[in-house]
Structure 1
Amino acid sequence: MPPRARESPPLSRRAMPCFRFAGWEREQGKEGGEERQGPARSQSARSNSSISGSECCSLNVSSEIGGESFGRYRQLSLSQRPDTLRVFTFQELKSATRSFSRALMIGEGGFGCVYRGTIRSTLEPRRSLDVAIKQLGRKGLQGQKEWVTEVNFLGVVDHPNLVKLIGYCAEDDERGVQLLLVYEFMPHGSLADHLSTRSPRPVSWGMRLRVALDTARGLKYLHEDSEFKIIFRDLKPSNILLDENWNAKLSDFGLARLGPQEGSHVSTAVVGTIGYAAPEYIHTGRLSSKNDIWSFGVVLYELLTGRRPLDRNRPRGEQNLVEWVKPYSSDAKKFETIMDPRLEGKYSLKSAARLASLANKCLVRHARHRPKMSEVLEMVQKIVDSSDLGTPEHPLINHSKELASDEKKRKGLNLKRRIADIKAGEGRWFTWQKWTPKLVRTQ
């Protein structure tokens, strides 16, 4: 569950079902339901309140923290923790959330609960910072694996369009191990909140273009600019958060995966959110950076249309967004038919058509013909530059600059060591055991 604000009742749309099988048809008749598939039987449906992909999907990466052994904190090896992250005590985070008060809860899902909290700045103890605190539920190994994955990845990446992980807590108490993550607070919630029909204020056209640009920047960093390639694997509006200045940032790295060399792929069990995963990944389990490109194309059409990728409440011919837009996106006379009516015509038709053309390039069936993320970013940048965009919203007070400055000063030389550890697959802090990829059974 990504950290987000709860200044009003949740606005997010019904969470998309997560999957470990080929095709969304197996979910027919389970409106809004969620089902986990895999070696174990599917578990009971979870809450419909903004559950992210990493909260209800299985990550086929095993940590050295095994099923039974994970239950005790003393078996976690934290001696080589990265300098970039703060280590919190459970009591600190309990105090920060007023004993995890439900009044401060800003999200709830399969992972556990997310609370808004307040912590002290390490450089200026008299100053407080708003944060989002995610507490792992003590049921299920899956959330524990994703907790490890988020710490491993977010402990080394650093980009303005990625949500910052401030620190973590892994501590024993009388009830067992307590695992928590502390993120920067994102007061404007997720893109899914604002695209929802329940949002009192729909996203403006200028804001949609800015979100597309910020998202492309974040993905480009992960694919091409970071020290090692990362495949995000769960791109969707609920994982795109908006800070106090309406900058979009990718969140929830529980399903992230180290990527292969350019032009190659790795085979994994299929995980993700129905409607966003690339077809070749669903049917073969072959994972590459081009899977994220497909997901980005789906998100672009969500920005254009305001519709979810799969919506069974619509007529049969309109339930699948990607299929529905095909006859309209290439016909200039019909193109306006697909545009979000909540925009009330307040958009540039030329820019919208160009964005749809880019989405179509990302949604090419053959992965090798999709553009790289750097090419996608360049095209989005040109669309934004050619558009006259005003200020999308009045920004709130900015705390993120202080937080970024605070945390930046904490970075040490062990960053490259951590990167080398992850590349080698033998991180000395949190390590992953060797595991055998499993292909999904296609229908």
Structure 2
Amino acid sequence: MGFSHHTISCPMLRALLVIICSCFLRFTAAIDTIRVNQSIRDPETLISYGQKFKFGFFSPVNSSYRYVGVMFNVPVITAIWVANREKPLNDSTGTVEISGDGNLVIMDGQKEIIWSSNILSYVKDSSAVILDTGNLVLQDNSNGRTIWQSFEHASDSFVEKMKISTDLRTNEKNILTSWRSPQDPGLGNFTSTVEPLVIPQSFVWKNGYPYWRSGPWNGQIFIGMPYMKSFYKHGMDVVNDHLGSAYLIFANLNSSVFLYYVLNSSGNLVEKLWSDEKGAWLVTWSSIVNECDIYGRCGPFACCNAQDEPICTCFPGYEPINKDEWSAENWTSGCTRITPLRCERNNSAGKEDGFLKLSQVKVPDHVKWLPAPDVDCRRQCLSNCSCIAYAYYAGIGCMTWAESLIDVQKLSDGGPDLYIRLAHSELGDKKYWKVITAAIVVLAFITILLCAHFLRKLFSQDQRKRKTELIQSATGKTDAEYSEVGIAKHNMHGVKLEALPLFKLGTLSHATRKFDSMNKLGQGGFGPVYKGKLPNGQEIAVKRMARSSNQGVEEFMNEVEVISKLQHRNLVRLLGCCVEHAEKMLVYEYMPNGSLDSYLFDSCKQQLLDWQTRLAIIEGICRGLLYLHRDSRLRIIHRDLKASNILLDEELNPKISDFGMARIFCCKEDQANTTRVVGTYGYMPPEYALRGIFSEKSDVYSFGVLLLEILSGKRNTSFYHEDQQLFLIAYAWKLWNENKIMNLIDPIIYDPRVESDVVRYANVGLLCIQEIAADRPHISAVLSMLSSESVVLPRPKQPPFSAIQMSPETEYSQMTPDLCSVKDVAVTIVGR
């Protein structure tokens, strides 16, 4: 038996190569489909044909659980749909596949199904594909029919071509449901729906009760929010069949940008736009801008105006139901009519009821529609005793109300006019009022003519008085001393104090509920800090200088002068100050997560500070220092950088605060000497603590201590290693020399995969706390060392070992010029 020899021709060879190459490209290119007998394993993903979306495994920020969902294909994890919202995977052994009955399923490491698409009919050959719209589609391959799709089972996000819908005939709804928290995709307290009333509206519900309302749809906009321009320019539309079915949909008119809406865990429906430049999502629209946007904030028969104080007022002809509650700014009970309507009285004698116009408002809930022209709307309402208000708006027509008039809000831009029905006696004599109005106009005109000559002079005098009051109150100088000292202080280092807004004491008292202890956020050397809310809904932090303050007026003026002109994402923003009636207060933006030390040194909260979060905090602090030292128009040394002076916003981004100890350097000034050493033990470099010399390197030293604290989760001034009797800095140095620096790391963030990064960060921390200031790197070099793995780091020299027998946050202020008196405090510089 022999072997036959066959020669493959060139054309056949080329065809074979084409087939092989095409197969190779198919498996090396991004895959958007999963078929029967195929699966994806954690952390694999499917990527849509146009690379816009991906489907696969992810973990939310500060969570170790694994979920499967649809995400935008951007560097920041952004899930728009989550399958296993209530059943997370505990590890990375999960798989996604097509089951034998044609369902898409998620299985854990024990091959148990934790989620299924749950189609009821058996499908022999099905496949799942992630589309470029973000829709995950399960289809029957035998006929191409879609048998299930994620767009019909919404999570918390609303994307282009998706429908938020309600069908009252079939009782089917596709609604948004918020996450339980930013770390937990589980079903939260808030939902968002479209209600297919005769005039459709969009709602956000909290535990089944209205929380926010859009107002009626007029065919082009929701008339309760006409000012939300960006909401409509993206092709937002409501389709209503007037038979109990309606849906909300939008088409992104700019296909080059990523845009979506999300109902967050706080109940706020926000529009987000992806910025390639910033590498982050930008909020371009928000359903809740101020307190008045919350449904029924003022109760029935009252109007909410965020620009007024208080924000709630009863309708004309109405009075509070409970005056005590109303005075205490609890408006939920609302108002009641003072004089009954004519048709409500047993004796219907008297003049006919009338209507009073409320201009440009968000019309009440529970609207009814009448097929009547504008001129007949008033007449039809007046002829019906149960009709208590009406409005007419283009695109809708005649709207009437017979129930409580609730969720009325004064709009600053556009909006319909609402006509409320009142007894004739509440309207007054119109002719009489016309005469009064004319007289007032004439009198006002004459008054303006008489006062015009003095307005400019009065304004100038008032401005000078306010400047003088600020400087005199802060410096304690008399009027006679103002001319000598006040002008110099007024323009110190080129910072003009009049540019900083001055808050009235009454405004801050009202915002903090009269400085209620329940609103107290903390206590520092300056005095207590209170949380407050301004009439426009903005949350603030008010630092009130105590009369027994150890820091005093000089620190108050210093903080105003230093940061009133500074703007950086990693610096807390100073909004203004108050100097009325011997009070001295600073008003800051409110940081909802408090200070870094409250997370870092708390056994429960530090669980939220994973490795990536700590990296972001370290880098943010570093960038804030770089701005102070190099990038701002003023060179500023903070002199009191520590964990309690790093505040965290809602996303745990760090912001440097408390500039009462800060010092402004002139252009050519590198260091300075002082006989007044201020700051906090454990964070002071030796040249400052002992000789009063400070420079940029002083802040670098403090940053190095802070960096080691963030890595270890231990406070420098209270850490004590029992076996070795070493404090944190000395313990870190010992471990470094023994090549055991990983023993320093907080066990919460320990992961062998990031060991090289941890060692590099610890190296940088030790470089920053070297004993000789000249050996420490500048903050710009520190940032390069942290952000680049290619930078070769030098070996650090021995740091000063401080063993200070004081409480962790003891602040030191040595006033005497005799530097030798530093020996009187227990500061020991050990070893060299």
Please report the TM-score for the alignment, with normalisation by the length of structure 1: 0.66
Question: Judging changes above 3 Å, is the alpha-carbon distance between structure 1 residues 312 and 222 closer, same or farther for their aligned structure 2 residues?
Answer: closer
What is residue 786 of structure 2 aligned with on the other side?
A: 380
Instruction: Tell me if the contact between 1:335 and 1:353 (Cα under 8 Å) persists in the aligned partners.
Output: yes
Tell me the secondary structure at the aligned position of residue 348 of structure 1. helix
Aligned equivalents of 1:239, 1:331: Cα separation in 2: 33
Q: C-alpha displacement at 1:228, in angstroms? A: 2.2
Question: Judging changes above 3 Å, is the alpha-carbon distance between structure 1 residues 66 and 179 closer, same or farther for their aligned structure 2 residues?
Answer: closer
Q: C-alpha displacement at 1:196, in angstroms? A: 1.2
The one-letter code matched in structure 1 to 2:541 is A
Residue in structure 1 matching 2:589, options 159, 171, 184: 184
Q: Deviations over 1:295-335 (max 9, x none)?
A: 11111110111111122665273542111111212444x22
What is residue 722 of structure 2 aligned with on the other side?
A: 315
The one-letter code matched in structure 1 to 2:685 is A
2:695 aligned with 1:285: no
Tell me the secondary structure at the aligned position of residue 86 of structure 1. coil
Aligned equivalents of 2:591, 2:617: Cα separation in 1: 14
2:555 aligned with 1:158: no
Give RMSD over aligned pairs. 3.1
Higher relative contact order (CA 8 A, sep 6+): 1
Q: Deviations over 1:61-119 (max 9, x none)?
A: xx9869993699x9795987545421111001000011111111111233221111011
2:548 aligned with 1:100: no
Instruction: Tell me if the contact between 1:67 and 1:141 (Cα under 8 Å) persists in the aligned partners.
Output: no
What is residue 136 of structure 1 aligned with on the other side?
A: 545
Q: Deviations over 1:391-424 (max 9, x none)?
A: xxxxxxxxxxxxxxxxxxxxxxxxxxxxxxxxxx
Aligned equivalents of 1:245, 1:137: Cα separation in 2: 31
The one-letter code matched in structure 2 to 1:137 is A
Q: C-alpha displacement at 1:438, in angstroms? A: 6.4
Aligned equivalents of 2:577, 2:733: Cα separation in 1: 45
Aligned equivalents of 2:650, 2:599: Cα separation in 1: 14
The one-letter code matched in structure 2 to 1:226 is S
Question: Judging changes above 3 Å, is the alpha-carbon distance between structure 1 residues 187 and 68 closer, same or farther for their aligned structure 2 residues?
Answer: closer
Aligned equivalents of 1:148, 1:167: Cα separation in 2: 12
Question: Judging changes above 3 Å, is the alpha-carbon distance between structure 1 residues 438 and 309 closer, same or farther for their aligned structure 2 residues?
Answer: same
Aligned equivalents of 1:303, 1:231: Cα separation in 2: 22
2:630 aligned with 1:224: yes
What is residue 663 of structure 2 aligned with on the other side?
A: 257
Q: Which deviates the most, 313-322 or 147-156?
A: 313-322
Instruction: Tell me if the contact between 2:682 and 2:717 (Cα under 8 Å) persists in the aligned partners.
Output: yes
Question: Judging changes above 3 Å, is the alpha-carbon distance between structure 1 residues 131 and 70 closer, same or farther for their aligned structure 2 residues?
Answer: farther
2:579 aligned with 1:199: no
- Structure 1, unaligned runs of 5 or more: 1-62, 121-126, 386-434
Instruction: Tell me if the contact between 2:768 and 2:777 (Cα under 8 Å) persists in the aligned partners.
Output: yes
Instruction: Tell me if the contact between 1:193 and 1:199 (Cα under 8 Å) persists in the aligned partners.
Output: no
Between structure 1 and structure 2, the one with the greater Rg is 2
Instruction: Tell me if the contact between 1:259 and 1:266 (Cα under 8 Å) persists in the aligned partners.
Output: no
What is residue 147 of structure 1 aligned with on the other side?
A: 556
Aligned equivalents of 1:141, 1:299: Cα separation in 2: 24
Aligned equivalents of 2:475, 2:596: Cα separation in 1: 38
Q: C-alpha displacement at 1:184, in angstroms? A: 0.3
Tell me the secondary structure at the aligned position of residue 158 of structure 1. coil
Residue in structure 2 matching 1:170, options 579, 596, 620: 579
Residue in structure 2 matching 1:327, options 728, 734, 738: 734
What is residue 501 of structure 2 aligned with on the other side?
A: 86
Aligned equivalents of 2:819, 2:737: Cα separation in 1: 35
Aligned equivalents of 2:506, 2:705: Cα separation in 1: 42
The one-letter code matched in structure 2 to 1:222 is L
Structure with the bigger percentage of strand: 2
Tell me the secondary structure at the aligned position of residue 272 of structure 1. strand
Residue in structure 1 matching 2:710, options 303, 315, 320: 303
Q: C-alpha displacement at 1:348, in angstroms? A: 1.0
Aligned equivalents of 2:790, 2:686: Cα separation in 1: 29
What is residue 620 of structure 2 aligned with on the other side?
A: 214
What is residue 118 of structure 1 aligned with on the other side?
A: 533
Please report the TM-score for the alignment, with normalisation by the length of structure 2: 0.36
The one-letter code matched in structure 2 to 1:129 is Q
Q: Deviations over 1:138-175 (max 9, x none)?
A: 22473222111111111121111110000000011xxx
Aligned equivalents of 2:569, 2:753: Cα separation in 1: 27
Tell me the secondary structure at the aligned position of residue 166 of structure 1. strand
Instruction: Tell me if the contact between 1:231 and 1:257 (Cα under 8 Å) persists in the aligned partners.
Output: yes
Instruction: Tell me if the contact between 1:168 and 1:179 (Cα under 8 Å) persists in the aligned partners.
Output: yes
2:677 aligned with 1:270: yes
- Structure 2, unaligned runs of 5 or more: 1-469, 792-814, 824-832
Instruction: Tell me if the contact between 2:624 and 2:656 (Cα under 8 Å) persists in the aligned partners.
Output: yes
Aligned equivalents of 2:704, 2:511: Cα separation in 1: 39
Percentage of matched positions with identical amino acids: 36
Q: How does 1:51-66 map to 2 (within 5 A)?
A: none
